[in-house]
Structure 1
Amino acid sequence: MRRTDTTIDPAAPRARSGAASARDILGPPAVVPLADAEPPARIVVDPPVPDWLAQGRVVIQYRTENLRVVGVFGPAALAVSPRIGHVHVTVDDLSWRWADASGDAIIINKLPPGPHRVLLELVDANHQTLDRETIAFVVPPTT
């Protein structure tokens, strides 16, 4: 196995033309508090995975911007920087919801065939909504 050692000059342009840095993809390191005001948190939600939807499984992938999804709750966690929080999930405008702090895809099984809506709310550690997105889809009849 060949190993290449590289010295990186932080002020120099990116060595690999067009390559995104780790910070570009992951954001700032979670171990260093942010010195500046944090930009607004945002949730980006994909539609359900079609192949699984046809099998009666709703699998919804999402990602967050400017917030790390972790299972830490309560008013003291509001001071953590970079910002942390979790996701509230509501199905079909029901009066109840659940909290998800895994950061993984949301999986819902056994929804009846027909139209449905899933609301994903990005919330802070004290359950205050920072951003939200609703996905509408149809579960096809199973054959």
Structure 2
Amino acid sequence: MVAIENEPLPKLIVDPPLPEPLAQGRIFIQYRTENLRVVPVFGKGALDVSPRIGHIHITIDDAPWHFVDASGETIILVGLEPGPHKVLIELADPTHKVITSETVKFTVPDPKSLKSRH
């Protein structure tokens, strides 16, 4: 086992939304982490767990709030209005301190314009 202070820094890798669901107004954002496991464990005592553990914070369109996800699964968003959007994904430690972040930008198509193509 490696002492936590000697472990490589955590990384967050975020893919753009999957194109097929996005064309239907559903947003599927896949991500992965390196040097950190995403698990639902919180609190100061978890800071010393090796290898590192944490979770993600998700903020949509600069909202004044975010939601927390510790599942490690694909982020799925529905119900966004047609038009441009951005999603801030923050990798956080068990005390919610942000380690790193990525922003994904995309445009939800207008369903009316999709119907006119058929």
TM-score by length of 1: 0.76
Distance 1:84 1:35 in 2: 14
CA radius of gyration, larger in: 1
- 2:2 corresponds in structure 1 to 34
Q: Pick the structure with more strand per residue.
A: 2
AA matched with 1:99: V
AA matched with 1:47: P
Distance 1:35 1:121 in 2: 24
Describe the SS at the equivalent of 1:76.
helix
- 2:56 corresponds in structure 1 to 87
Equivalent pair of 2:3/2:50 in contact (CA under 8 Å): no
User: Displacement, 1:34?
Assistant: 2.0
- 2:66 corresponds in structure 1 to 97
RMSD over aligned Cα, in angstroms? Answer: 1.0
Distance 1:101 1:58 in 2: 18
Structure 2 residue corresponding to 1:69, chosen from 38, 52, 61: 38
Describe the SS at the equivalent of 2:99.
strand
Describe the SS at the equivalent of 2:42.
coil
The higher relative CO (CA closer than 8 Å, separation ≥ 6) is in: 2
Equivalent pair of 2:31/2:74 in contact (CA under 8 Å): yes
Distance 1:119 1:128 in 2: 15
Q: What residue ranges of structure 1 are gaps of 5+ in the alignment?
A: 1-32
Structure 1 runs of 4+ off > 3 angstroms?
Answer: none
TM-score by length of 2: 0.91
Q: What is the percent sequence identity of the aligned residues?
A: 57
User: Displacement, 1:35?
Assistant: 4.0
Q: What residue ranges of structure 2 are gaps of 5+ in the alignment?
A: none
1:60 is aligned to 2:29: yes
